[in-house]
Amino acid sequence: MMALTKEVDMAKVAKLSEKVDLGQLLSLVSSMDERTLQQLLKLAAPKAPKALPVVDGDFFDIGALLTPKQREVQLKVRRFMEDEVEPIINAYWQRDEFPRQLIGKLKDLDIIGELFGEDGRRREGAAVLEGIIGMEMARVDVSTTTFFGVHSGLAMWSIYLGGSEAQRREWLPRLRDFEVIGAFGLTEPDVGSAVSQGMTTTCRREGDDWVLNGQKYWIGNATFSDFTIIWAKDEADGQVKGFIVRQETPGFSVTKIEGKIALRAVENGHVTLSNCRVREADRLQNAHSFRTTADVLRMTRAGVAWQGVGCGMGAYEKSLAYAQKRTQFGRPIASFQLVQNLLVQMLGNVTAMQTMCLRLSQLQDAGTMRDEQASLAKVFTAKRCRETVALARELHGGKGILLENHVARYFADTEAIYSYEGTNEINSLVVGRAITGYSAFV
């Protein structure tokens, strides 16, 4: 550029651009040597658009820590979510309905088979892979992740930990192949956080049957599942027992909960059990107290922490892409300092969540994960995700409240992540008790 300005009288060129004198222009051009002429033509040529960095929410490259097989599954799930779920999910979210056609497609994806082997046993490294699958799903849609988490997490873990060998053999392969869909009924209309102490649903042994009475609330998938795991207190010994209650059982009924502002594409049910008779063979044979229920929740709580990671990651990526293309004051909003600050806060949150959860799942795979570790991850990710989706909504301006840009859905769905699988307060109390040695539960 310097060399060029020396050889060409730029003042003359500038003057020409004000009022073109063709003769003068031709004489100026004919006085140039070939090199100068080429440089001038290069300057005048339209500029190629600036190549921008790729939008990628995996800033610390946690993908590189996965085995080739885990990475392959991650990318397979990513493609599925982007191609099959993203194009349709806003319409279903608006309609308050789960897109049931996804079930057959999830079966074809065969991802539960990567977690549970043919023999029904958990595969090595399943917790990390399960977390990555949850992250990839929530990166596009949290409702789909929740459907999957209730089915492959809460329902399958209940049978895995509480079922006999025969029950595992009967149910796990069919659940793995989505031949049957599972749900999990623990929470009640009047008892949520305190359900371990205040459960009101009862079970009573009568001959070869059990008779169940009570209500369950918020039960994901229950409107269309083939069975729901029902946790009920034994009238005889006061202990909590688990039952596989088939949908068609007389005395079992479900109504859909309407009017949610989060996870609208998950169908949550209000279950009523009125003298509902279940065979002894369908009682979870190795679940003798609430301890088994708590063991299930410990395993799935990590999965919910990963939902926060994915939702935050999706919100960050959507925001960066939007900031690169949205122009105000003649410049992309990504070039404004304050907007960059929002993006950096989001990315910091996402990266902290990813690295924390990856370590949590490694501990889970090693069989050493403690309750308070899962609880800390849930508390941390729910909070950071909530902050991240709020920043994403802010960055999108008014369009941040429109479903079409997806961040409004992330923003709303995070409210459910914040409250289920143990609220923020309850998980904080679990961690607080572990680190101080004092229980602050009342």
Rounded Cα gap, residues 415 and 308, in angstroms: 10
Residue 119 C-beta: closest distance to ligand FAD, Å: 27
**β 182-185/227-234 pair status:** parallel
Rounded Cα gap, residues 144 and 311, in angstroms: 12
Torsion of CA 204, 209, 215, 217, to 10 degrees: 130
Indicate the SS3 state at residue 235.
coil
253/423 with CB nearer ligand FAD: 423
Options 38-46, 111-119, 185-193, 345-353: segment touching ligand FAD (CB under 6 A):
185-193
49/259 with CB nearer ligand FAD: 259
Rounded Cα gap, residues 195 and 354, in angstroms: 30
57/214 with CB nearer ligand FAD: 214
- Footprint of ligand FAD on 35-54 (CB under 6 A): none
- Which residue blocks in 252-370 are alpha helix, DSSP H? 290-325, 337-366
Determine the residue type at 266.
V
Residue 385 C-beta: closest distance to ligand FAD, Å: 15
Q: Find out whether 202 and 210 touch, Cβ atoms under 8 Å.
A: no
Which has the closest alpha carbon to 322: 266, 260, 404? Answer: 404
171/184 with CB nearer ligand FAD: 184
Number of residues that bind ligand FAD (CB under 6 A): 20
Residue 428 C-beta: closest distance to ligand FAD, Å: 8
- Footprint of ligand FAD on 190-219 (CB under 6 A): 192-193, 218-219
Binding mask 246-285 for ligand FAD (x = CB under 6 A): -----------------x----x-----------------
Determine the residue type at 210.
W
Indicate the SS3 state at residue 406.
coil
Indicate the SS3 state at residue 11.
helix
Indicate the SS3 state at residue 132.
helix
Residue 143 C-beta: closest distance to ligand FAD, Å: 9
193/253 with CB nearer ligand FAD: 193
Residue 150 C-beta: closest distance to ligand FAD, Å: 5
Indicate the SS3 state at residue 271.
strand
Q: Collect all residues with Cβ–Cβ distance below 8 Å to 177 and sequence separation of at least 6.
A: 107, 112, 113
185/242 with CB nearer ligand FAD: 185
Rounded Cα gap, residues 328 and 431, in angstroms: 46
183/350 with CB nearer ligand FAD: 183
Residue 240 has what DSSP assignment?
A: E
- Footprint of ligand FAD on 393-422 (CB under 6 A): 416, 419-420
- Footprint of ligand FAD on 96-125 (CB under 6 A): none
Find the binder of ligand FAD among 205, 289, 423, 433 (CB under 6 A): 423
Find the binder of ligand FAD among 9, 21, 82, 425 (CB under 6 A): 425
Residues that bind ligand FAD (CB under 6 A): 150, 184-187, 192-193, 218-220, 263, 268, 416, 419-420, 423, 425-426, 441-442
